[in-house]
Amino acid sequence: MSINKKIAWTHLTAKVRQLLVAALSVTFGISMYVFLNSFVSGVNTAQSEITFSSMGHIKIYNDLPTEVPVLLPKPADSNTIAMVSNARNIRYTEGIKNSTPIIEALNTFKEVTGVTQQVNENVFLRNGVTKYSANLSGVDVENEDHLFKTSQYMVEGNYFDLEKRSDGIILGSRLAQNLGVGMDDNVTVLTSDGTSKIFKIIGVFETGSATTDKAKAMVSIHAARQLFSENKSFATDILINIKDFEKAVKVAQKISGVTQYKVEPWQEGNSQLDSANVIRDLLAVTISLTILVVAGFGIYNIMNMTVNEKIREIAILKAMGFNGNDIVEIFLTQSVIIGIIGGIAGLIIGNVISRIIDEIPFKIAAFTTFPIDYKPFDYILAFLFGIIITIIAGYLPAKKAAKLDPVSILRG
């Protein structure tokens, strides 16, 4: 160990209480940084999981034209009059008539982790005189669970019974409550074409998303095709999950080359989710950095006091031949040691706080405790920020000490 580092260590150990106060300020800042970012990251992950519990990262569907078709072209001259009497709407092909080849092509993409197909239609569900509108989703049971882990959101019944029961239906918890029905009760499904069929309730699910839980009902995709008189390869939507949902836009562009149907990444219809995640991240980082900066001011004050207390010792050192760089190194070493001690303690305490919060009961959707993410990157960043701030806080007093004139001090 060099003489400069020995002097720095002697200064620190001479006043242990002062060392602990400085280290604790760093510890508090870093522990809060770790906890806040772990918690916010967990909330973002939970929000994404709830959102994607029924929505794919990418959706393929038949986007019907919204413009009114021009039946007669505009006359070439002003002497001609074009008039259409009693115009009729043209019936376009709805849905995807043959989904099988599209699904086979999608499974060849290395970014794709799962594909499922659905038949979605707006219907009315009736229980006696009570009638509610709902979105009836005919699902491919096995692939649906692979994408959305639907079976984990079941609060009553067995999700996989849908595959065995052509007359079985599963309702969202709020929808079942509004209809006043429970397990093994019957509900009547009324389609827009006037078709009706009685289904037996074989399960109830709860995703935590109010929009989904109060409006969604599920039957097997075979039962849905039969109800709406569609062929065995018909689907209204093909839903795709990929390895990194943040790259959905880029992957959607690649997928659009294999089909003429609309390929829509989740960001197009849910930009508010992405914005909310970014805002929460910025808020957590801002609060955490503010705490660290305040801790930096504490270290600055302590180091400034140390310089004032050791002013005669500094003068003696300079008179003995120590130059300005040596003085800077001595006080900067003290700051770094404070930063390292406080940083390591902060990481440990931040992790402990996160694990305690992680055990607090908190029931929402499939979550039973508060959502916490343990990302190594957050810990590394917290430690680096702590060291940088302590170095800056220690450098300013060290620079002041280096500029002191030993002669004037010793004379005074």
* In the chain, where the domains are located: 3-51+274-411, 58-64+93-269
The 10 Å Cβ neighbour count of residue 383 is: 20
**pLDDT recorded at residue 395:** 81
Exposure b/e, 94-120, CB count within 10 A at least 16 = b = ebbeebeebbeebeeeebbebbbbbbb
- Residue-wise pLDDT for 190-232, tens only, equals 998 889 999 999 999 988 778 888 999 999 999 999 999 898 8
Q: Find the helix packing angle between 271-309 and 376-402, rounded to 10°.
A: 30
**pLDDT recorded at residue 65:** 59
Residue reference for tokens 């389609």: 191
**pLDDT recorded at residue 43:** 81
Partner residues linked to 294 by β-bridges: none
User: Which pTM value belongs to this model?
Assistant: 0.67
For 208, phi and psi rounded to 5 degrees?
A: 95, -15
The 10 Å Cβ neighbour count of residue 394 is: 28
**pLDDT recorded at residue 225:** 93
- Ranges under pLDDT 70 in the chain: 1, 11, 64-72, 87-93, 271, 274, 364-367, 409-412
**Cβ–Cβ under 8 Å, residues 303 and 334:** yes
**pLDDT recorded at residue 64:** 65
CA distance 375 to 273: 21
**pLDDT recorded at residue 317:** 77
Burial of 147 (0-12, 13-18, 19+ CB in 10 A): buried
Partner residues linked to 218 by β-bridges: 137, 170
Angle at 200 (CA atoms; ends 116, 194), nearest 5 degrees: 80
**pLDDT recorded at residue 268:** 81
CA distance 370 to 361: 7
**Cβ–Cβ under 8 Å, residues 281 and 40:** yes
